[in-house]
A and B are shown apart, each in its own frame.
Chain A
Amino acid sequence: MYTSTLSNRRDFIKKMAVLSAMTAAATMFPGILFAEEQERGLPKGGNLDWKKAPCRFCGVGCGVLVGVENGKAVAVKGDPKSPVNKGLCCVKGYHSVMSMYGKDRLTHPWVKKNGKYVKTSMKEALDIIAEKMQTTIKDYGKDAVSIYGSGQWTIPDGYVASKLFKGCIGTNNVEANARLCMASAVTGFLTSFGSDEPMGCYEDIDHADVFVLWGNNMAEMHPVLFSRLLDQRLKRGVKIIDFATRTTRTSMASDKSIIFQPQTDLAVANAICYEIIKKGWVNQEFVSKHCNFSKGSTNMGYGLEDKYSFNDKPEKISFEEYKEFLEDYAPEKVEKISGVSAKDIKYMASYYGDPNKKVMSLWCMGMNQHTRGTWINNLVYNIHLLTGKISTPGNSPFSLTGQPSACGTVREVGTLTHKLPHGVVMNKAHREHAAKIWDVPVENIPSKPSLHTVEMFRALDRGDLRFMWIQVTNPMVTMPKLKRYRDATKKEGRFIVVSDIYPTPTTDIADVILPSAMWVEREGMYGNSERRTQYFEQMVQPPGEAMSDTWQLIEVAKRMGFEKQFYYKEETHIEEIYNEYRKHHEGKKHGMAPLEVLKSEPGAQWPYVDGKSTQWRFNSKYDPACSNDEEFHFYGKPDGKAVIWQRPYEPAPEVPDEKFDFWLCTGRVVEHWHTGSMTRRIPVLHKAMPHGYVELHPEDAKKMQIRTGDAVRLTTRRGTMKLPASVNERGVPEKGQVFVPFFDENMLINDLTLDAFCPISKQPDYKKCAVKVEKA
């Protein structure tokens, strides 16, 4: 793999030595930069052709330059022209090309015949898939087939998937793993503003005075952005406040670490609003001009039952009613349930309330993977709306994402059951708009959402769903309460197709495995967290018969008789698809940049209007879609006003008790990207973090006589497993809590997690369930 492209073995070893040191440094010093090394590039003396692309990994969307030599991608450096990362890279990005050349790369399709995988041609595999979909639809109906994709789908991948399933087949059984990582952010935006995705952008970092990180370990999950925060601290003395349930690398690098008890962020956010009102810090003019107050249903449940359904019933309330509701959230009262001192609550409120401080709130999985995920998103917006600190440079509530195109593909293309590329399936005008562009009868698109992700796997278990095509994701590692859903896939009469680049626990349950072309082995676009769409060209050939997910879907669509809708030519299909997709978003609110702009620039931010990206939405100074002749216009809502929501604190569905007396929280590590199927094949990263572990608080460990490396047994109501202990190493959970990363497919922590979800967003909570901890 990597060695063959370098001038000799010694150079390679030297480079490995450098990378090992960089990895070690990155784990010791969050946000550390070695820009000089990145600028110099890796191999020396080669005849490298550097081409731009967005990084393959997280949702930050760093611009990278990929060095290609003799038909192979051999090096990566940060793109100095990219306004996202300004030439920087993190350890994963720096090694990203190595993830393309793992020894066990899938190069040919495999089809299960009589219980054994048989190597077959792509043509035969695609024939089998098309035929199986058609017979399943004939025997069980169109809602018996589904597709489950991801935020790693390129924009064209997701677009053709939605067109095939929603427009042509006529089922809304289209979901993506972004349901597991940012659905609560979507419903938060929609309920508060009526329009998805952040109003601000990364440039807010260069303007803000204070950063409040809500349950967000940025040092490990978004290291390049965290570097930008640290850089601002160095230059301007900004403050970073880490508000979390566990002490992490981020806490250690922050100016202040404030720890709260799981789920009580809801109460603390309300307490901050209480304090803002009590101290007279409300921006009265902003609130009266631009905000409404509403309350919704409470005690909604947690989605633990099959076929659970919930519809919120919003009711307008007055500011006085809202103020009265907040009486229960005086900092002194909240201190008792949250473990956060009234002083610290007031400390945070004072920054939000200070009219001379610009504040950026940042969050990711901590707030989104939450059984009240929509609510906590609403509550953080409340803080920014009450103080009018929104949609201006440096005043920015900002939800980060974890995948390269969770925004671009899942949210913008709309690869969730209720979504269309523009709007939602429930809206007749939106269905008509999509049907016209897709060239299908409008009746094809069902008017009701069908199965969200957890319910999709439950339907597979029940037998309501018979066929599932999984692309670019690894649900047999990531689904909560995993055993139920793993067993479901093995039931008689279920047919699973998996498109991926490596064998994973998900390809293990497949009836057909398709080898996919990844990242720069094909052409495509990703959309990052700041509404930036970035293009990448095909730079190298995929191995063997590997094919892009886009073209796999087109081939199957044609075989199913949808040649008219899938008219694209192989050599120009990405351009044709993107141009067709742009039609869905035409207009000032969501216009997408032309392809030639994406090709020549390091991305463009929608709304792209009159040749310009929009950095701050809803602010008439920057956003051409504002039309109310006011300074701000929240045009996602019919009356142009944002909503301040009355949302209470409610406890988690499963809390520690006598038998299961610890909290279990799961998450990620800096070295590995999500389930590790790519990063664990990069030797330096794998060696730096070879396996999963369980973090314990040192006092709990001492009480149980557990030392680092000792085997620990974790048991929940769903299952039991053994992991090595980690005490006082990278992260330190609070007493009575443990943390386990989920990247290790040999230690499937999701066998133990609970499949409870936010009733509004349907996003599961991976951060809280009750667990018993014993020395094994």
Chain B
Amino acid sequence: MPIKSYLAHPYQGQKMELYNTLSQLEGCEVIPAENKDVLILVTDTETSKQEDALQEKLNMIKSIKLLAMVAGFNASKN
């Protein structure tokens, strides 16, 4: 049941597009930086299967230049 946080770096001029794409994904919370081309992405999935599926979706996003993981926690539900 992992919770992970990433710094998501978009391709130039695609920050809003990336923000919109990530925001629509289930299990994703996105916090855009106000003044830099970077977004914080927090993923929260229930199972390893869901996590793998989400990773696949993230890999397919074209506006992501780099997705750098910062923290990862394998947390229980509560």
Contact = CB atoms under 8 A, between A and B. Distances in A.
B34 A20 contact: no
A681 B58 CA distance: 35
A16 B73 contact: yes
Interface stretch (A31-39, A138-146, A760-768): A31-39
Contact of B38 (A17, A29, A227): A29
Contacts of B41: 21
Interface string B23-62: 0000001011111101011101000000000000000000
Contacts of B33: 25, 29, 32-34
A18 interface: yes
A135 B7 CA distance: 61
Interface residues of B, number: 25
Contact of A10 (B31, B38, B78): B78
Interface string A1-35: 00000001110011011101110110011011111
A277 to B, nearest CB: 39
A292 B40 CA distance: 55
A546 interface: no
B51 to A, nearest CB: 14
Q: Which of B7, B41, B71, B76 has the most CB of A within 10 A?
A: B71
A10 B75 contact: yes
A: interface residue count bin: 20 to 34
Nearest to B75: A13
Interface in A186-232: 227, 230-231
Nearest to B6: A21
Contacts of B71: 16-17, 20-21
Contacts of A10: 3, 44, 75-78
Given A9-B75, A24-B70, A29-B33, A34 B40 contact: yes
A21 B73 contact: no
A37 B78 contact: no
A17 B72 CA distance: 7
A20 B41 CA distance: 11
A9 to B, nearest CB: 6
A13 B3 contact: yes
Given A17-B71, A32-B36, A231-B35, A9 B76 contact: yes
Contacts of B42: 14, 17-18, 21
Contacts of B32: 34, 36
Contact of B34 (A8, A13, A14, A36): A36
Chain B interface helix/strand/loop/mixed = strand
B75 A18 contact: no
Contact of B35 (A9, A16, A227): A227
B31 A13 contact: no
A24 B70 CA distance: 7
Given A17-B71, A17-B73, A25-B40, A33 B5 contact: no
B70 A20 contact: yes
Contacts of A24: 7, 70
A14 B70 contact: no
A138 B73 CA distance: 62
B2 to A, nearest CB: 10
B3 A17 contact: yes
Contacts of A230: 35
B34 A34 contact: yes
Contacts of A31: 35
Contacts of B70: 17, 20-21, 24
A34 B31 contact: yes
A104 B7 CA distance: 33
A260 to B, nearest CB: 29
A18 B78 contact: no
Contact of A33 (B35, B44, B72, B76): B35
Given A18-B5, A20-B71, A234 B78 contact: no
Contacts of B4: 17
A42 B64 CA distance: 27
A206 to B, nearest CB: 15
A34 B78 CA distance: 27
Contacts of A36: 31-32, 34
A11 to B, nearest CB: 9
A226 B34 CA distance: 14
B19 to A, nearest CB: 11
A465 B15 CA distance: 62
Contacts of B72: 17
B7 to A, nearest CB: 6
A93 B56 CA distance: 36
A746 B74 CA distance: 32
A37 B39 CA distance: 11
Nearest to B72: A17
A14 B77 CA distance: 12
A304 B14 CA distance: 59
Interface of A: 8-10, 13-14, 16-18, 20-22, 24-25, 28-29, 31-37, 227, 230-231, 234
8 contacts: A9-B76, A14-B44, A17-B5, A21-B7, A22-B40, A24-B7, A227-B35, A230-B35
A-B CB proximity, top 9 nearest: A17-B5, A20-B71, A33-B34, A21-B5, A21-B40, A21-B70, A13-B75, A24-B70, A29-B36
Given A9-B76, A18-B5, A37-B31, 18 more contacts: A9-B78, A10-B44, A10-B75, A10-B78, A13-B3, A13-B75, A14-B29, A20-B5, A20-B71, A21-B40, A22-B40, A31-B35, A32-B35, A33-B36, A34-B31, A34-B34, A36-B34, A234-B35
